[in-house]
Amino acid sequence: MERWQNRVAVVTGASSGIGSAIAKDLVLAGMTVVGLARRVDRVKELQKELPAEKRGKLFALYCDVGNESSVNEAFDWIIQKLGAIDVLVNNAGTLQSGYLVDMNPSVMQQVLQTNIMGIVLCTQRAVRSMRERKFDGHVVLINSILGHKTMTATEGVAPDVNVYPPSKHAVTALAEGYRQEFFGLGTRIKITSVSPGVVDTEILPDSIREAIKDRMLHSEDIAQGVLYAIATPPHVQVHELIIKPLGETM
């Protein structure tokens, strides 16, 4: 992580779970981190968990990634106060339980707006900063195993994750789209998709938690995967990193 010392990383959805773990580990690894979240108070609480000499390296900032004006306001602040964005971790995402056949369409639309357009909006601003400086930055997309497959029904039990798998399949396609664009535009910006299996976080539906029981990853496991991808030498790009708990059958 030597090349990233005191560089600026932005982590979306930093108020809990995977995002919180990534933000904390990046600070401990020597980066200046902006934790974007709607629940800013939780990011501020995370600051208190850091060693005293590191607390000033984590900034808590409000951002609704699905709202373009909110994204622009947050990234304008980052550029004005910190000067640049060197690493972006697109972690913010949402999952709402329900069935495709009868769920409120407006709720599903919000899932798609957050999980897909949130990445697009934040990545546009981060990559603009990288390209303006001709800086070889890194964009990480926190994907899902459900970005590569869908859930299977059992007799009498239907999957209740609705548009979440389609939204994560879109993230898989976005990762490849960015990879091709970054190369075609003559940059050396890296893109990595990290696809966890079941992780013990707030977003996990009770139906999956009950089925999986103790076969779950921890947020810190995913954070370590992100640090591995970021820490690779300039000539190495981790395209896709799938992390699953031992014994997971999905």
Which tens digit of pLDDT belongs to each residue from 29-85? 999 999 999 999 999 999 999 999 999 999 999 999 999 999 999 999 999 999 999
Is the whole model's pTM more than 0.85, yes or no? yes
248 inside domain: no
Range of the domain at 133: 2-243
Question: In total, how many domains does the chain have?
Answer: 1
In a domain, 249, yes or no: no
Residues 32-47 as b/e (b if ≥16 CB within 10 A, e otherwise) read: bbbbbbeebebbbebb
Position 250 in a domain: no
Active site residues: 164
Residue 113 counted as domain residue: yes
Q: Please report the pLDDT score of residue 149 as a whole number.
A: 94
Residue 14 in any domain: the answer is yes
What CATH number is associated with residue 99? 3.40.50.720
For helices 118-132 and 164-184, angle between their N-to-C axes, nearest 10 degrees: 20
Q: Assess if residue 130 is contained within a domain.
A: yes
Task: Report residue 214's pLDDT band, with 50, 70 and 90 as the boundaries.
Answer: confident
**What does the pLDDT look like over 152-211, one tens digit per residue?**
888 888 999 999 999 999 999 999 999 999 999 999 999 999 999 888 776 666 666 666
The amino acid sitting at 90 is N
What residue has token string 């010392």?
A: 5
Q: Is 9 exposed, middle or buried (0-12, 13-18, 19+ CB in 10 A)?
A: buried
- Flag whether 10 is in a domain: yes
Does residue 234 fall inside a structural domain?
A: yes
